[in-house]
Amino acid sequence: MKLILVFGALLGHIYCQETFVGDQVLEITPRNEEQIKHLVELEAEEHLQLDFWKLPTIPGETAHVRVPFVSIQAVKVFLESQGIAYSTMIEDVQVLLDKENEEMLLNRRRQRNGNFNFEAYHTLEEISQEMDTLAAQYPGLVSKVNIGQSFEKRPMNVLKFSTGGSQRRAIWIDTGIHSREWITHATGIWTAKKIVNEYGKDHTLTNILNAMDIFMEIVTNPDGFAFTHSMNRLWRKNKSTRPGVFCIGVDLNRNWKSGFGGNGSNNNPCSETYHGPSAQSEPEVAAIVDFITAHGNIKALISIHSYSQMLMYPYGHSLEPVPNQKELYNLAKDAVQALYQVHGIEYIYGSISTTLYMASGITVDWAYDNGIKYSFTFELRDTGRYGFLLPASQIIPTAQETWLALRTIMEHTLNHPY
C-alpha cells in the first residue's frame, strides 16, 4: 500500500523532472531520538536534494526517501556512520517508472469494475468479448450474426439490433474497414452500448428501432486490426496475399464494384489504395456484399472512417451528382449541425469527389448504385493534429457527437420510406 503512495507521488514528480535514472528509494528506521534528529539535519542539507515523504517523529517509525543518484554515496556513508538502519527499497526509480507507465497504459484498457472501458482503445479479443456481452445482456434486442471469414480466417461478426419483425427495413453501419482508424472501432462499440441503453428512453431511437433494424459491423477488417496491434499501428489494408505478389493487402475501400479501378485507386499491390485484382475479390468485402444483397431491405448505409472531420455522400468515383444530391446535401447539413451542437466540432460536408478526393470502388458508391439511397461516409476526428493516433481521451466526446449525426440520418431514413 505504501508502495502505491510512493509511486503515486513519484508519478506526480514526472512533470517536474524528466528522468530518475539511478535514483534510489531508501527505507530508513531510526532507533532513537538522536537518530531522528540526524535525519532532520540530513533533510535540511539542500545540496543533497533529498526527497523525504515523511520524517519520522517517533523511534521505530520508518521514513522513505528518494535519493538522487549523485547523493547516494554520501547519504549511505552518513547513515552507516551514525548506525542508522536502512534498506534499499528501489534500486533504480526510472526502471520502475517506465514499467509503471506501461502498466498505467495497460490499466487504461483493462475493465474497470468488470465493465468494458469505453474510454480506452481495445484489442480484437476485447471488442469481440464486449459484443458477446451485449448480446448476452440484451437478448431481446441484440444478436450476433456471422457473415463470413476474413482472409486469415477470422470470423466476421455483425451486431443486429432488432425489436422483432422479419426482414425489416434496416440500417447498416460499419467501422474499422481501414484498420489504423482506431477511433472508428471505439466509436462503434460505444454506439452499440448507447443503442441498448437508449432504447426505451430516447424517443427518436425508440421509434427507429420499433420499425427498423440496425446492423453494425464494428471490426470490418479484423486481420488488419490485429496487425495494428501486433506489428504496424499504421496499417490500412487487409492482409490478403497472392502468389507472386510482393506486397500484402488490398484497400478494402477500393475493392467494391462501382467504378472499380478508376481514378483514386491504384493497381500497384504495394500501394495503400491498391484496389485488388478484381471487384469484390476480398472476402471481407464479398461477405458484406452477399449479406446486404441477400437481406434485400437495407435502406441506409453508413461507413465510418477517420480522419478529416467530414460527412460525405456519393459519388467518389465521379464528379457527377447523384439524383437525390439535394436531399443528401440537406441531410448531411442537418447531421453535421447536430454533431456540432455537442462539442463545437466543425465538420465539412458534400459529395466525396468534391469534398475529399476522387476515389473509385468505394463502399458508399456501391451501396448507392445498389439502391441504397441514403449512403454516407464519415471521416471522424481530428483534422491532422493527431490523425490516426487520436488520444484515447477523445473517444467519448467523438462518439457522443457522432451519435447525434447517426441518429439524424437514421431518423430521416425512418421518415422517408422507399
Partner 1 sequence: MPADACPAWGTPLARPVEGSPWRRVPAEGSPSALAQPRVAAGREPGRWSAASTPPAASTPPAPRPGVPRPSALLLALALALCLAVPGLQAAGPGPGPGPGPGSPGVPGAPPPGLLRQAARAALHFLNFRAGSPSGLRVLAAVLRGRAAVDARRTCRVDLEFTAERYGPEVADGRLGRCSARVVFRHQKPRPAVNVTCTRFMETSRRRREDFLLYKRAKRLRAPLGATSIPDSHGWIDPSLRPIWDLAFLGSSYVMWERTTQTLHYYMAQLSSVNQWKTNEDAIDFDYTVLLHEFSTQEIIPCRIHLVWYPGKPLKVKYHCQELHTAQEGSGTEEGSAVAPTQPNNF
Which residue ranges make up the site for partner 1 (CB under 8 A)? 14-15, 18-19, 21, 101, 105, 108, 120-121, 182, 228-229, 233-234, 236, 247, 251, 264, 266, 268, 270-273, 319, 321, 325-326, 329, 332-333, 336-337, 339-340, 346-351, 353-359, 382-394
- Closer Cβ to partner 1, 357 or 418, answer by number: 357
Shortest Å distance, C-beta 157 to partner 1: 23
Nearest to residue 72, comparing CAs of 24, 136, 31, 14?
A: 24
CB of 81 vs partner 1, minimal distance in Å: 33
The one catalytic residue in 130, 217, 284, 379 is 379
Q: Which is nearer to partner 1, 339 or 372 (CB)?
A: 339
- DSSP states of 287-348: HHHHHHHHH--EEEEEEEEESS-EEEES-SS-SSPPTTHHHHHHHHHHHHHHHHHHH----E
In Å, how far from its chain's centre is CA 4? Answer: 29
Inter-residue contact 306 to 181 (CB < 8 Å): yes
SS3 label, residue 159? strand
Residue 33 designated active-site: no
Count the neighbouring beta carbons within 10 Å of the beta carbon of residue 418. 10
Alpha carbon 67 to its chain centroid, in Å, reads 40
Q: Which is nearer to partner 1, 287 or 395 (CB)?
A: 395
d(CA 406, CA 418): 19
What is the Cα–Cα distance from 64 to 88, expressed in whole angstroms?
A: 10
Output 85 or 106, the one with its CB closest to partner 1: 106
Q: How far is the CB of 96 from partner 1 (least distance, A)?
A: 15
Alpha carbons 328 and 339: distance in angstroms, whole number: 16
Q: Give the contacts of 106 (CB within 8 A, at least 6 positions apart).
A: none
As measured in angstroms, the least distance from the Cβ of 36 to partner 1 is: 35
User: Between 386 and 418, whose beta carbon lies closer to partner 1?
Assistant: 386
- Which residues are annotated as catalytic? 379
